[in-house]
Each structure stands twice: as structure tokens, then as C-alpha cells.
Structure 1
Amino acid sequence: MNYMLKYSLACLLLLLALTSCRKEPNYPDEPQISFKRIERFDHDADGLQIDSVFLVIGFQDGDGNLGLSTDKASGDYDPPFNPGSPYQHNFKVRLLERVPDPNNPGEFIFQDFEFPVEGFDLSGRFPRISSDDRAEPLEGEIRFGMIFTNEAAFEPGDVIKFEVYIYDRTLPVPNKSNVIISDEITLFE
């Protein structure tokens, strides 16, 4: 019995020593993102077709300063994150639609989608990832939702994809991530 207790204690101490030596990842301070997937959920509301689309991106950030608070007293609405600023939205989305290629009949290209309302885009804010302001490496996923309807600009069978990048909270100028492009999806099918 003493024999088992002696070696069990030694194994436990060795295990604790090995797990305490875990090295933190070393990511750059500029956010790095990758496309993970698109989740699409469709439903019908009194003849109106609705697609709820969620873009899921992976992220890595060396100093953990991702996300903006929704609390206006937090300072995350102060410049450079104030309304009207290019950094107001930290999740930037460019919508691309598939259209016939005018130079190659039977072929298709992707081009910027022109919204019926000038100045409208799908960009938005995602909340702070970390609840404190400690500089620490972070890794995870951001799930960003959008809604499309067949009421105005979109029709069943429209094929779209997204170009995405994010900003962190570095001051005075936020760091921009790399740019990614999503897979294509077909609306309302």
C-alpha cells in the first residue's frame, strides 16, 4: 500500500509540473482571421422568405484587445470608434454578388453588391472578447449574423459571398486584420 501511495504521489507531482510549464501562444498584436464556415437558416413569414446568415471566422490576437463595448460610457464610442468614423464598426463586411461575366458569355464573376440605400453596408460591431484590459493572447471564433429577405434586393437563387476583416482597439489607430473571403451561398433555397 505504501508502495502505491509513494509512486502515485510522484506521478501526480510530475503531472502538475508538466502542466504548469504550458507555454502561452505567441500571436502578433495585429489580429489574424480565417474563414471557418457559413451557417444559413431559412424560414417563411407570411410569404416573405428570410435567410438568417451567420459568418463564423476564427481569430488570433497577441494582445487580446478585440471587440467594442456596447456601453456608451466605456469609451468605446470615443474617437476613433465614434459614429461616422471608419473604425465605428470593428467587423467590416463587403457583400459580393455573382453576376454574368460581360466578357465571357456563360461565365460568372463576383462584384460589389449595390444596396438600394446609399451608404448602407453589413458591417457592425462585435462585443469585447475579454472582460478585462489585460494584454494576453486570445484565440477563438466570432459568429456574426445578418438577415436577408426576398422583399427588395434579393431573389431566390442569388449567389453571394463575403469579404471580411476586423479591427482591434489599438490607439490611436486600430490594427486591421488580414482580409478573408467566405464560401459562396445561394439565398432562399
Structure 2
Amino acid sequence: MKNMLKYSPLLLVLAFAFNSCREEPSYSDVPAITFDRVEQYTFTKNNIISDSLVVAIDFQDGDGDLGLARSAPDGTQTGPDFEPPFNQGSQYFDNFVANLQIKRGDTYEDTPVNFNGRFPRLSSGEDAETLEGEIRYTITNFSTDAFPPGDTIRLEVYIYDRALNKSNVVYTDDIVVYQGQGR
């Protein structure tokens, strides 16, 4: 016990030194994503069955330039996140792309339906920093007007960073519409 107390400050310094030598991970500046899960919530309101989905993807990005403002602080769509190439009507306006596919037999058919949108900036500054984490993207209230109950769908998902780099493409698991747990 006496030796333990004698050497504990040295062990503590060595532990801190060893821990501080850990290198930051090195990721590409092009974002990389992996599909994690889909959370499905089915509910009925005014005799209309609707689903809401939460798509969770994991990401890694070497320079941390992910995300765009959804609106300016004053609530308008002004500022650098709404100027070209991020202006309305541009392919880069939305940084989260979710294209709907319907399963027909053993194959998936592309549809003109998408649930594209924006996810917010993930780093606070403009300095490059390595980022990794999870993006949870919510798709709310699509109803039986769009699909008959029991159809099987999936989403083709990819993201853009502010340097206009497109991530890899991932696909969600199959989703049987209007079959989730009722709320």
C-alpha cells in the first residue's frame, strides 16, 4: 500500500500523457454514411392511417462541413446557406436525399416521390474538424393517400456536404407501410 501511494502520482501523470497521445481519426473529406435503423410510428387521426419514420444513419466526415441552416435567425431563408449553390431549386438546396422505392416482387422500382430535406450544421465553426456521429431524419405523416396499407417500401439515402461532396448511397431496410406500432 505504501508503494502504491508513493507511485500513484507518477501513474496518474503517465495515464494522462498516454491518453493525450491518442491521434484523431483520419476520415475522407467526402462524407461516408452507413444505414443504422428506421423507427416507424403508425397512427390514426380522423380515420386516416398515417406513418412517421425516423431514419438513422451514421456518418464520418474528415473536415466537418456537414449541414445547412433551415432558416436564418430571423426566420427567413437568407444568408450563405440559401445563396447559390444552396438556393431554392438547386440540387444542393436539400442536403439529405431520401428517394422512395416500392418493392414489386423481388425488385425495387424507383418512384418520383422523395422526402428530401435539410439537416442542421453539425459543427459550430468554419474550421475543419473531424466529425462522426448519427443523423436522425424524421419523415412525418405520409398517409394511405400515397400507398395502400401493406405496401413494402425502402429509401435510397445519401447526403451532401457544403463542399458539394456527395456521400455514398445506402438503403434502408424494408418498411411495410402502416404496420408499425400504433401511437
Same fold (TM over 0.5): yes
TM-superposed CA distance for 1:113, in Å, is 2.3
In the alignment, what sits opposite 2:52? 52
Alpha-carbon deviations, 1:34-81, whole Å to 9, x = none?
111111011111211111101111100000000001224441001100
Which of residues 131, 144, 153 in structure 2 aligns to 1:160?
153
TM-superposed CA distance for 1:2, in Å, is 6.3
1:79 equivalenced with 2:84 (yes/no): yes
Q: Partners of 2:112 and 2:2 in 1: how far apart? A: 77
Which of residues 117, 123, 142 in structure 2 aligns to 1:124?
117
Show structure 1 runs of 5+ residues with no match. Answer: 100-106, 116-120
What percentage of aligned pairs have identical amino acids?
47
In the alignment, what sits opposite 2:135? 142
Show structure 1 runs of 4+ deviating over 2 A.
1-6
| Count of aligned positions | 173
Q: Partners of 1:97 and 1:88 in 2: how far apart? A: 25
In the alignment, what sits opposite 1:98? 103
Q: Partners of 1:134 and 1:74 in 2: how far apart? A: 19
Q: What is the root-mean-square deviation in Å for CA atoms of aligned residues?
A: 1.4
TM-superposed CA distance for 1:129, in Å, is 0.7
TM-superposed CA distance for 1:29, in Å, is 0.3
TM-superposed CA distance for 1:122, in Å, is 1.0
Q: Partners of 2:26 and 2:125 in 1: how far apart? A: 19
SS at match of 2:81: coil
Q: Partners of 2:27 and 2:177 in 1: how far apart? A: 36
SS at match of 2:33: strand
Which of residues 93, 106, 109 in structure 2 aligns to 1:108?
106
Show structure 2 runs of 5+ residues with no match. Answer: none
Q: Partners of 1:114 and 1:3 in 2: how far apart? A: 72
In the alignment, what sits opposite 1:183? 173
